[in-house]
Amino acid sequence: MHNWYVYRKFEDTAKACADFIAGKIEESIRERGVCHIVLPGGSTPAGCLAYLAQKNLQWNKTHWYPGDERCYPAGHEDRNDVMLQKNFWCRLSGIHTYPIKAELGAEKAAELYRETISVIECFDIAFLGMGEDGHTASLFPESNALEDQRSVIPVHNSPKAPDDRVSLSVKTLSKARCKIVLTGGKAKSEVIKRIKNNAVLPINSLGDIVWFLDEAANSDV
């Protein structure tokens, strides 16, 4: 089942989400000695990650993986790893990061990323984003990629630019020990209502999720 945490302002939501993630990182390191974490792209998580970077954690025991990547050249401003480096990774020392080599094309990059994550039984934390259409990572509604059972999948003909992407699959994300979504704003309220009504959407195919919302996103429910 989904668990919902709603805060008045998005800044408060982002801080609460960072606190929750920090607690889960500590729990994972305490129980398994390491924490493997999926990260979202886009602009929404930037503030949360900035708060998380201020925490006093055993960063050398954390391993960070983009949940998806856009097939742009390395260093392109719209790549997820560029956002993550700018807003999060550059603030920490001793962490282990695993960018997706999407500049090699979707097929080759997916193949290489499958090798990268092959040693991981399941991710400890999947921190995810969500679009207004209910997509997460690069798993879009009605996409053939939703049925791909490989751990990492190429995505072609994306409804959002660029056409080609690489994404962790539904199978991989659904196995994560803890799945978290941070979102906010009135524009997300309609899809939140649909999710609560059990609509068939990519984000609803991943199982139990811990949600962090602001009141605007929760306003149509």
Model pLDDT, residue 221: 56
**% of the chain residues with pLDDT over 70:** 99
pLDDT score for 42: 87
Mean pLDDT of 113-140: 97
d(CA 43, CA 146): 24
Residue 1: what pLDDT? 76
Q: Is the pLDDT of residue 43 over 90?
A: no
Average pLDDT over residues 87-116: 97
DSSP state letters, 140-182: -TT-GGGG--SSEEEE-S-SSSSS-EEEE-HHHHHT-SEEEEE
User: Looking at domain 3-177+186-214, does it have CATH number 3.40.50.720?
Assistant: no
Rounded to 10 deg, the angle between the 46-53 and 10-32 helix axes is 50
CA distance 35 to 25: 6
**Predicted local distance difference test score (pLDDT) of residue 27:** 98
Q: Cα–Cα distance between 181 and 40 in angstroms, integer?
A: 9
Give pLDDT tens digits for 161-205. 999 999 999 999 999 999 999 999 999 999 999 999 999 999 999
Which pLDDT score is estimated for 89?
97
Nearest Cα residue to 123 out of 77, 159, 177, 199: 177
**Strand pairing partners for 96?**
63
Compute the half-sphere exposure of residue 120: CA atoms within 13 Å on the CB side of its CA.
26
Mean pLDDT across the stretch 209-218? 97
Average pLDDT, the chain: 96
Is the pLDDT score of 37 beyond 80?
Answer: yes
Residue spans per domain, the chain: 3-177+186-214
In three-state form (DSSP H/G/I as H, E/B as E, the rest C), the secondary structure along 112-130 is HHHHHHCCCCCCCEEEECC
- What are the φ and ψ backbone dihedral angles of 153, each rounded to 5 degrees? -130, 145
List, for residues 59-89, the tens digit of each pLDDT value: 999 999 999 999 999 999 999 999 999 999 9
110 — pLDDT class (breaks 50, 70, 90): very high
pTM of the model: 0.96
Angle at 142 between CA 205 and CA 2, to 5 degrees: 20
